[in-house]
Chains A and B, each alone.
Chain A
């Protein structure tokens, strides 16, 4: 191909022109306009009821949240991290979607199986109160929410000697005076790339760490999700062995590799199970930042 000297300067001028126009006029092409942020928040404040969850779309524009009331307890800027099934596990079946563009609604409604109850438009933005079309899962026991109500938590050393953990606050079972991290503790952890309420359960090496929950009557199903936090799997440490006992009988055991994946197990409980114990164990601790959540139904 013959070299044509004009091509390069022309490309340069066009690139410069495009860059100039983009950054002067086009770069703020999505998100909520500043002028409507306050109105959006006021509408959300007046619509919100206890148990509702607000979803910001796009999640990177949180400007309107500066005007939200403290009554808003649940908000997520990461709806893409959830599946339609997971929306069914939220506290209520009502959701408030704060969208920067009404055109995004149809695909969202379809993906998450939600239907519009009411909506209000603010410039290009729209706030939609929606209801989950699926049946909401109402857990009889949530491992995170009810962690402080666990029957007991303890450590077992290699000889089987038991050392009790102590409930030192509504969010923490402390298992060691020396190591503050050796505990079961409520937190929001990054599980499988998404922020989720979870129980911190970093195990000490060669020490079984167990939390025991009383099972509500007529429960038949258990869902357990476990994961390493990014601080652990980015340094490629050892795995954690997870064991579940129903009335002291082992019903599940697996190795959670030290990777970003969230392990999900959904299984039936033996009839009339009175208690379940979740046990974590590792050969070598270190950056073993390990968490779990789940429920019994």
Chain B
């Protein structure tokens, strides 16, 4: 197997596709309200922007080290230290440049710009994988569109959160590692190790990557590669360990450390706290076919079934195509490194789902916690489709084959546009046609939505009708909005600036209600306290209610 190279036009084309995806995500940012977690990360970005400001100020004064002292690091990085800093610093830097320094963008837009940037990176990643490993330009061009017309991916791509960035770093590390296996250069090994360090500095999911890659390599080593001279098994084994694994220790860890200033002081204590925090993470209840999954053990099938029902049908077929491609190529290459390459890909794509399937692993957050390998499946599956079309028409002129392939692929994308339009404001609530769409999922009592963001269909009525200084119940204690996200929506002008948020229905003139089955009692409390069952506005898709706005009876 050889690694196919980028041609000049590939640089241009990949940039074009990425630029389109960037615009597609960034220009539609106003469709989606701010999710609870964005409230935290936007606040973190403000801290980070302030740090960049301090660096600039202190540099001008010639006090180069001051921003990096323990006092300064504690001041700017203590808040939200349950997550590493790379993406948060990118949010902060974008805020510093595009809002604080130049006022080109509003505060939330400057932060969400980074999210759109990661979407563009993912488009490049799909393009690269398609060229490097499949030598298929049509796959390279089309696969990003399949990825970003998945309503869940489209939704998460807008958010100032870590799920799409870690999707990029997760899939990207597998891509670079496989590239290293084929080219075996020091440069490729260093690049992979640095990239993994950055991945770790985004989210803790990445800790599984080196373990998984080592596990895969060990399997292939002992089953296929091992060439042991008598009495030298130990030495041969050590000599066979690829350079990149050593660099995971000597390069990745320092990169990780450098990218997360919080760890620069009290390193072990802070790192231990971080690991404990995630090992003991609470679960938030999720509904799954009428069953409330509040605490473990959770059903093993949960993430598999959820993936099956939350992926649009054309992409679902593509997923199965990718798995079929990987399995057939692994079987055909069990004795060589090509087999390991495809084994890494399938593990990279499916391990995140397997991990969440373990009964003791919390399942809150839905598919965003296991979609990190989707780009791998999309690129490989799209190639498998193109390849199957070519084989099907092997006796036909190549020009016609290309045209027919293009027509089929474009049709696949067109087919998912209506679903994307229907769920443009609430992609996290998407269920596919096999589930019966929004209504089928609601009838089956699946988790309808989460994260308290779905207010874009409600705010126009609120802003028009609310008296000056009106108070609105934001459902903060019940997975609705949180204070930060509410305040940032005011800053962005989504909610009128004089409207005040409260966390008690009794103290409110208006109330947001965000439906989750486990919170349905809040709706009845609103009815009771407001003395009305009549909503002022309802946010819905195909008649299924996701959130509503109420006003106290005067």
Chain A residues engaging chain B, CB cutoff 8 angstroms: 3, 5-9, 11-13, 15-20, 22-24, 26-32, 54, 58, 60-63, 65-70, 72-73, 75-78, 187-190, 193-197, 230-231, 233-236, 260
Chain B residues engaging chain A, CB cutoff 8 angstroms: 282-285, 292, 294-295, 312-314, 316-318, 321, 324, 328, 384-385, 388-389, 391-392, 408, 411-412, 414-416, 418-419, 422, 432-433, 436-439, 442-443, 448, 477, 517-525, 527-528, 531-536, 538, 540, 542-545, 548, 553
Q: How far is the CA of A22 from the CA of B285 in the complex (A)?
A: 30
Q: How far is the CA of A9 from the CA of B318 in the complex (A)?
A: 10
Residues of chain B lying within 8 A (CB to CB) of residue A13: 408, 411-412
> Is the CB–CB distance between B415 and A188 below 8 Å?
no
From B321, B388, B519, residue with most partner A Cβ within 10 Å: B388
Residues of chain B lying within 8 A (CB to CB) of residue A63: 538, 540, 543, 545
Residues of chain B lying within 8 A (CB to CB) of residue A196: 521
Q: How far is the CA of A8 from the CA of B405 in the complex (A)?
A: 13
| B416 closest partner in A (C-beta) | A19
Chain B min CB distance to A96 (Å) = 12
Chain A min CB distance to B192 (Å) = 32
From B285, B313, B416, B522, residue with most partner A Cβ within 10 Å: B313
From B314, B412, B414, residue with most partner A Cβ within 10 Å: B314
| A235 closest partner in B (C-beta) | B282
| Residue from A8, A22, A190 within 8 A of B388 (CB atoms) | A8
Using known A-B contacts A31-B543, A63-B543, A190-B520, determine if residue A12 contacts B318 with beta carbons closer than 8 Å.
Answer: yes
> Is the CB–CB distance between B384 and A23 below 8 Å?
no
Query: What are 9 contact pairs spanning A and B, CB under 8 A?
Result: A3-B328, A8-B384, A8-B385, A16-B314, A18-B313, A27-B438, A30-B543, A58-B442, A66-B538
| A20 closest partner in B (C-beta) | B415
Using known A-B contacts A67-B534, A70-B532, A190-B518, determine if residue A61 contacts B432 with beta carbons closer than 8 Å.
Answer: no
> Is the CB–CB distance between A23 and B418 below 8 Å?
yes
| Residue from B295, B443, B540 within 8 A of A234 (CB atoms) | B295
Q: How far is the CA of A23 from the CA of B312 in the complex (A)?
A: 11
Q: How far is the CA of A65 from the CA of B545 in the complex (A)?
A: 11
Q: How many pairs, one residue from A and one from B, have CB atoms within 8 Å of each other in the complex?
A: 171
Inter-chain pairs besides A7-B388, A16-B314, A196-B521, 8 sampled, C-beta below 8 Å: A9-B389, A12-B314, A68-B533, A70-B532, A197-B524, A230-B292, A234-B282, A260-B294
Q: How far is the CA of A187 from the CA of B526 in the complex (A)?
A: 10
Residues of chain A lying within 8 A (CB to CB) of residue B318: 12
Chain B min CB distance to A184 (Å) = 16
> Is the CB–CB distance between B414 and A20 below 8 Å?
yes
Q: How far is the CA of A23 from the CA of B408 in the complex (A)?
A: 19
| Residue from A7, A19, A61, A76 within 8 A of B433 (CB atoms) | A19
Q: How far is the CA of A248 from the CA of B313 in the complex (A)?
A: 64
Chain B min CB distance to A82 (Å) = 13
Residues of chain B lying within 8 A (CB to CB) of residue A70: 531-532, 534, 553
Using known A-B contacts A17-B415, A20-B415, A235-B282, determine if residue A65 contacts B439 with beta carbons closer than 8 Å.
Answer: no
Residues of chain A lying within 8 A (CB to CB) of residue B384: 8
> Is the CB–CB distance between A15 and B317 below 8 Å?
yes
> Is the CB–CB distance between A30 and B443 below 8 Å?
yes
Residues of chain A lying within 8 A (CB to CB) of residue B416: 16, 19, 23
Chain B min CB distance to A258 (Å) = 9
> Is the CB–CB distance between A19 and B525 below 8 Å?
no
> Is the CB–CB distance between A31 and B439 below 8 Å?
yes
Chain A min CB distance to B279 (Å) = 15
Chain A min CB distance to B486 (Å) = 20
Chain A min CB distance to B113 (Å) = 30
Q: How far is the CA of A242 from the CA of B284 in the complex (A)?
A: 26
